[in-house]
């Protein structure tokens, strides 16, 4: 029997194969596998549906992640995929696999975070499943959202000369993770040590308590903007821009000096992790849950002074791949790390 290592296929290779084998039976299924969420026709509007799973030891480490934050984040990462479709989240289901290591109080704390997020994003928890786990804590959330058919924004519709935009700042969640991991190692070698996280509060909170950018989705409606393509930034900018360009059949240019980098993130890198460059964290870090989208030149006029949107590059349909123009005016190829290795953090 032939044996193919998953490493050889990669995360996206595996998904591609599942996608190729999944036959659609219903004309209501407007979009199946291949975007941030599936799109289903539902009368005069469409429903969007997305699922994400979080596994202890792979996606989170309970030695430094408070359960309340974990509950909040499990909801937020799914809302972010609904936002990436330019849709409004309405309901979630949540399934949990729990080991007897957890007390009732611990589960209560987790659900306090879940319900705080449900309140914040006005979504209803409508079901799920509860089961036991022999080892770690596993959480699977499905989110359902709604939009008008013409409002839905896909990954694969970026056009020549569109402007590439990113919300907020990028790379911070990854730097926060580096801080938390380092504090954990220091604590393990000296359990009397008290972690000193005050100086790193912004980046640590980017990692522990991300938000989905529903504020921008509402603003798009107010401004009459429909992005030409959109994706949420869960795996780092490099991976996400390549999803947009490859699926749209276009190329892109990014400018290093336009990448949105926050002050504390930069200070933390300079003082604590001098081997890590800010651009590397932006391109290959992850879990920022900001939005990456493209807009037409006409719509650029409507948001060009927006404080929380950075204009980081443009689409070029005559180009192949994604190029980064560095501060030193060098041109380098942007590649996504996630494409090569079957990483732990699927
Ligand atoms: P995101 O990072 O936005 O959550 P993913 O990269 O996880 O997106 O998934 C990309 C697409 O592949 C989505 O449409 C998702 O539903 C689909 N997908 C991922 N894993 C599977 C699977 N095991 N079976 C079917 N579809 C999958
Ligand atoms: Mg996504």
- Give DSSP secondary structure letters for 296-330: -HHHHHHHTT-TTEEEEEEEETTS-SEEEE-TTS-
Q: Pick the ligand that lies closest to the CA of residue 292.
A: 2
Q: Pick the ligand that lies closest to the CA of residue 84.
A: 2
Q: Which atom of ligand 1 is nearest to the CA of 52?
A: 4
pLDDT number for residue 341: 41
**DSSP character for 60?**
B
Q: Report how far Cα 7 is from the mean position of its chain's Cα atoms.
A: 22
Provide CB contacts within 8 A for 241, sequence distance 6+. 164, 252, 254, 292, 313, 322, 334
Using a 6 Å cutoff on CB, does residue 52 contact ligand 1? yes
| 209-257: pLDDT as tens digits | 999 999 999 999 999 999 999 999 999 999 999 999 999 999 999 999 9
| Other Cβ atoms within 10 Å of 175 Cβ, number | 28
| Residues of the chain with confidence (pLDDT) below 50 | 338-346
Ligand 2 centroid to Cα of residue 318, in Å, is: 26
Contact (CB, 8 A) for 283 and 322: no
Nearest CA to ligand 1 atom 3: 36
Contact (CB, 8 A) for 168 and 309: no
Domains in the chain, start-ordered, CATH in brackets?
6-151 (3.30.1330.10), 163-333 (3.90.650.10)
Q: Which atom of ligand 1 is nearest to the CA of 36?
A: 3
- Ligand 1 pocket test target in 10, 15, 87, 155 with most atoms within 8 Å of CB: 15
Using a 6 Å cutoff on CB, does residue 256 contact ligand 1? no
| 139-174: pLDDT as tens digits | 999 999 999 999 999 999 999 999 999 999 999 999
Closest CA to 303 of 236, 234, 219: 219
Q: Which atom of ligand 1 is nearest to the CA of 346?
A: 7
Using a 6 Å cutoff on CB, does residue 53 contact ligand 1? no
Q: Which atom of ligand 1 is nearest to the CA of 34?
A: 14
Using a 6 Å cutoff on CB, does residue 240 contact ligand 1? no
Q: Pick the ligand that lies closest to the CA of residue 49.
A: 1
Max distance between CA atoms of the chain, in angstroms, equals 62
Ligand 2 centroid to Cα of residue 239, in Å, is: 11
Interatomic CA distance for residues 172 and 178, integer angstroms: 10
Ligand 1 centroid to Cα of residue 94, in Å, is: 17
Ligand 1 centroid to Cα of residue 217, in Å, is: 22
Interatomic CA distance for residues 250 and 161, integer angstroms: 10
pLDDT number for residue 322: 98
Using a 6 Å cutoff on CB, does residue 262 contact ligand 1? no
In 84-177, DSSP assigns E strands to 88-98, 124-132, 138-147, 163-167
- Conformational region of residue 152, where left means phi above 0, alpha means psi within -120 to 50, and beta covers everything else: beta
User: And the tokens for 81?
Assistant: 């995929």
Using a 6 Å cutoff on CB, does residue 81 contact ligand 1? yes
DSSP H helical ranges for the chain: 6-21, 67-83, 104-120, 172-189, 201-208, 214-223, 237-248, 263-272, 278-284, 297-303
Residues belonging to the chain: 346
Ligand 1 centroid to Cα of residue 38, in Å, is: 9
pLDDT number for residue 248: 98
Q: Is 52 helix (H, G, I), strand (E, B) or coil?
A: strand
Per DSSP, the residues of 183-233 read HHHHHHH-TTPPP--GGGHHHHHHHHS----HHHHHHHHHHT---SEEEEE
Q: Which atom of ligand 1 is nearest to the CA of 35?
A: 14
pLDDT number for residue 18: 96
Using a 6 Å cutoff on CB, does residue 36 contact ligand 1? yes
Interatomic CA distance for residues 325 and 253, integer angstroms: 7
pLDDT number for residue 94: 98
Q: Which atom of ligand 1 is nearest to the CA of 51?
A: 16
Helix (H) or strand (E) holding 252: strand 251-255
């Amino acid at each position: 029997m032939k044996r193919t290592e998953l490493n050889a296929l990669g995360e996206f290779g595996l998904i591609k194969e599942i996608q190729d084998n999944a036959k659609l039976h219903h004309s209501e299924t407007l979009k199946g596998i291949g975007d941030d969420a599936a799109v289903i026709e539902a009368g005069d509007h469409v429903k969007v549906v997305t699922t994400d799973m979080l596994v202890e030891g792979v996606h989170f480490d309970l030695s430094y992640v408070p359960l309340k934050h974990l509950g909040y984040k499990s909801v937020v990462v799914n809302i972010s995929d609904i936002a990436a479709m330019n849709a409004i989240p309405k309901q979630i289901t949540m399934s949990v696999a729990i080991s007897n290591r957890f007390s009732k109080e611990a589960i209560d704390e987790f659900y306090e975070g879940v319900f705080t997020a449900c309140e914040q994003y006005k979504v209803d928890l409508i079901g799920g499943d509860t089961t036991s786990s022999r080892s770690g804590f596993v959480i699977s959330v499905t989110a359902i959202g709604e939009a008008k058919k013409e409002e839905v924004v896909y990954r694969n519709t970026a056009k020549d000369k569109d402007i590439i935009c990113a919300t907020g700042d990028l790379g911070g969640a990854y730097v926060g993770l580096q801080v938390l991991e380092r504090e954990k190692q220091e604590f393990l070698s000296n359990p009397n040590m008290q972690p000193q996280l005050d100086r790193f509060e912004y980046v640590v909170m980017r990692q522990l308590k991300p938000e989905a950018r529903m504020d921008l989705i509402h603003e798009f409606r107010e401004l009459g903007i429909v992005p030409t393509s959109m994706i949420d930034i869960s795996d780092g900018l490099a991976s996400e821009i390549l999803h947009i360009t490859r699926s749209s059949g276009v190329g892109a240019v990014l400018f290093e000096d336009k990448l949105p980098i926050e002050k504390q993130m930069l200070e933390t890198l300079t003082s604590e992790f001098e081997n890590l460059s800010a651009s590397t964290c932006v391109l290959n870090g992850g879990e920022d849950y900001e939005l990456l989208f493209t807009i037409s030149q006409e719509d650029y006029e409507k948001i060009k002074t927006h404080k929380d949107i950075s204009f980081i590059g443009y689409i070029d349909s005559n180009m192949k791949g994604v190029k980064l123009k560095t501060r030193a005016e060098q041109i380098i190829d942007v590649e996504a790390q996630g494409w090569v290795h079957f990483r732990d953090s699927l």
